[in-house]
């Protein structure tokens, strides 16, 4: 194949990709119209039966066109997830009478950090314009929102492979801010380079200790590589972009690297395939969550020291059929013998069962605070039969 043929074929692919994008945008606009009709009809946002039927038909149609069923399913699950979350956001904005089109969002780190990606994802879903406020410490994020210099603060709370982020839990104990959202970001560590090179030519890899640790199996295949530890993955990207040499690379997020003009050489390098970080969104005022979307409520409570106090509290949840999705404990500052418990439940704060449970918990705990109720962003795909 000569170069001209290749260029022509690539032009056709590029044009076709633009058409795909237009179709995706058109589909999203239709989903928003569906959401508007659901505001009027009060129907739940998700309709599993419709999704199942839709996917089944697409798999069959895909097979007629020689497209593998697994590929078609994965692709459309992603499209449906976006559709559901976009609809959820519209209902939430409508319910909370949020007319504001732009917001200031505070997050940790310079551009390209995973927190930055989370902030962008949240901002894009809810606002037309986002003013990004990169901070140096978690406590600065909380402070910016508390003092009204930002409307929202994004904080990582847990990672599927390395666990809870204690510093963030501790900050939640002392703030009056409310939890108004959550975002799950898949962490995809990649080898990024500044130009034309290959794995054999690389001599030095820049990254933060966490990605080095999470990708140890892949890195073990290249004993000649020298590791250079940076204070953040964003700093690693900056370094590689600055050096601009074929012998250096960064082990960081592919998406973030695009902001530094870096290219992906290898992707999906973590030892553990599912590597997800969950972020929480903080704001000055709590929000109301429509019953048309799945909601989560986060509580923070201190129980007395008598034996079985925590069990008793959890039994209250069970009595009311409330599912707990997370339980975390942290020491209470200045009180060596007691613990503060953080509980995530799958329930809307306005529901009767949650209100009853809260009243009962109030009576048996030493302190109880609702950190917030927010739409759950965990859109589990429908099971395929
Ligand atoms: C668009 C709708 O809302 C949701 C999203 C769907 C989609 O994107 O295809 C399908 C069903 C619902 O879970 C709908 O109800 O039709």
C-alpha 58 – ligand 1 centre gap (Å)? 14
Confidence of residue 384 (pLDDT cuts 50, 70, 90): low
Does the domain spanning 26-95 belong to CATH 1.10.300.10? no
3 state DSSP class of 177? coil
Helix (H, G, I), strand (E, B) or coil at 152: strand
Residue among 352, 353, 355 nearest 322 (CA): 353
In terms of DSSP H, where are the helices of 42-165?
A: 48-64, 69-95, 114-126, 138-146
Average pLDDT on 250-260 reads: 90
- Residue 50 Cβ contacting ligand 1 at under 6 Å: yes
189-266 fold:
D-Maltodextrin-Binding Protein; domain 2 (3.40.190)
Domain 295-375: which CATH number of 3.40.50.720, 3.30.720.200, 2.60.40.10, 3.30.70.260: 3.30.70.260
ipTM of predicted complex: 0.98
Phi, psi of 144 (to 5 degrees): -60, -40
User: For a pLDDT cut of 70, what percent of the chain falls above it?
Assistant: 99
CB of 83 closer than 6 angstroms to any ligand 1 atom: yes
Q: What distance in angstroms lies between residue 182's CA and the mean position of ligand 1's atoms? A: 21
CB of 382 shorter than 6 A to ligand 1: no
* 102-187+276-283 and 295-375 have identical folds: no
Q: Tell me the pLDDT tens digit for each residue of 203-236.
A: 999 998 888 988 999 999 999 999 999 988 888 9
pLDDT at residue number 385: 53
Q: Which atom of ligand 1 is nearest to the CA of 83?
A: 8
* Structure confidence at residue 331 (pLDDT): 83
Q: Tell me, in angstroms, the distance from the centre of ligand 1 to residue 163's CA.
A: 33
**Strand pairing category for 163-164 and 226-229:** unpaired
What span, in angstroms and rounded, lies between the C-alpha atoms of 84 and 379?
Answer: 8
Residues 143-200 have pLDDT tens digits of 999 999 999 999 999 988 778 888 999 999 989 999 999 999 988 899 999 999 999 9
Q: Are 341 and 301 in contact (CB under 8 A)?
A: yes
pTM of this prediction? 0.87
Dihedral of the CA atoms 123, 126, 128, 133 (nearest 10)? Answer: -30
Model pLDDT, residue 210: 81
Predicted confidence at residue 172, as pLDDT, reads 94
CB atoms within 10 A of CB 223: 6
Contact 214, 189 (CB under 8 A): yes
Q: Per-residue pLDDT for 51 more than 90? A: yes
* Residue 342 DSSP class: E
- pLDDT value at position 191? 97
pLDDT band at 244 (very low <50, low <70, confident <90, very high): very high
What is the per-residue pLDDT across 330-358, written as a single tens digit (0 to 9) for each?
Answer: 888 777 777 899 999 999 999 999 999 99
Lowest mean per-residue pLDDT among 190-199, 253-262, 362-371: 253-262
Q: Which three-class secondary structure state does DSSP give residue 381?
A: coil
The strand ranges marked E within the chain are 102-108, 129-135, 152-159, 163-164, 178-186, 189-193, 204-207, 226-229, 248-253, 263-266, 276-283, 295-302, 323-332, 335-346, 367-375
> What are 106's strand-pairing partners?
133, 153
Residue 345 and residue 291: Cα distance in Å, rounded? 15
Q: What is the percent of the chain where pLDDT is above 90?
A: 77
What was the pLDDT predicted at 43? 95
- By residue count, the chain amounts to 385
CATH number of 102-187+276-283: 3.40.190.10
pLDDT value, residue 309? 86
CA–CA dist 76, 82 (Å, integer) = 10
List the beta bridge partners of residue 154. Answer: 281
The predicted-structure confidence for 101-155, as pLDDT tens digits, reads as follows 899 999 998 888 889 999 999 999 999 999 999 998 999 999 999 999 999 999 9
Give me ligand 1 centre to Cα 205, in Å. Answer: 44
CA-CA distance, 220 to 236, in Å (whole number)? 20
Does the structure show a pLDDT above 90 at 305? no
Q: Is the pLDDT of residue 70 over 90?
A: yes
In this prediction, residue 106 carries a pLDDT of 97
- Segment 277-281 mean pLDDT: 95
Q: How many whole angstroms from 188 Cα to the centroid of ligand 1?
A: 28
Element (H, E) at 332: strand 323-332
> Where are the domains positioned within the chain?
26-95, 102-187+276-283, 189-266, 295-375
| Mutation test residue for ligand 1: of 47, 292, 379, the one with most atoms within 8 Å of CB | 47
């Amino acid at each position: 194949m000569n170069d001209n043929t290749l260029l022509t074929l690539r032009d056709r692919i590029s044009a076709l990709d633009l058409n795909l994008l237009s179709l995706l945008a058109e589909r999203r606009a239709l989903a928003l119209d569906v959401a508007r009709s659901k505001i009027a009809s009060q129907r739940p946002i998700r309709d599993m039966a419709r999704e199942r039927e839709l996917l089944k038909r697409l798999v069959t149609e895909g097979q007629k066109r020689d497209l593998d069923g697994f590929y078609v399913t994965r692709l459309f699950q992603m499209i449906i997830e976006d559709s559901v979350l976009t609809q959820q956001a519209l209902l939430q904005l409508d319910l909370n009478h949020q007319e504001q089109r732009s917001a200031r969002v505070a997050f940790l780190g310079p551009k390209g950090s995973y927190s930055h990606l989370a902030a962008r994802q949240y901002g894009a879903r809810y606002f037309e314009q986002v003013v990004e406020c990169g901070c140096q410490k978690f406590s600065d994020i909380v402070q910016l929102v508390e003092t009204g210099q930002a409307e929202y603060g994004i904080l990582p709370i847990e990672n599927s492979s390395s666990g809870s982020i204690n510093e963030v839990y501790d900050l939640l104990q002392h703030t009056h801010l409310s939890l108004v959202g959550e975002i799950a970001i898949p962490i995809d560590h990649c080898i990024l380079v500044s130009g034309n090179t290959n794995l054999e030519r690389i001599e030095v890899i820049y990254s933060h200790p966490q990605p080095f640790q999470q990708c140890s199996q892949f890195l073990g295949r290249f004993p000649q590589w020298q590791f250079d530890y940076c204070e953040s993955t964003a700093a690693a990207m900056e370094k590689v972009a600055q050096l601009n040499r074929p012998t250096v690379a960064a082990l960081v997020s592919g998406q973030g690297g695009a902001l530094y003009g870096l290219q992906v050489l290898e992707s999906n390098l973590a030892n553990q395939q599912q590597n997800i970080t969950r972020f929480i969104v903080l704001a000055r005022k709590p929000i109301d969550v429509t019953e048309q979307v799945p909601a989560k409520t986060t509580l923070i409570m201190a129980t007395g020291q008598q034996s079985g106090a925590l069990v008793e509290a959890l039994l209250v949840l069970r009595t009311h059929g409330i599912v707990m999705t997370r339980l975390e404990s942290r020491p209470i500052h200045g009180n060596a013998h007691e613990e503060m418990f953080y509980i995530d439940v799958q329930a809307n704060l306005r529901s009767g069962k949650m209100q009853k449970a809260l009243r009962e918990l109030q009576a048996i705990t030493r302190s109880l605070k609702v950190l917030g109720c927010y739409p759950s962003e965990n859109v589990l795909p429908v099971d395929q039969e």
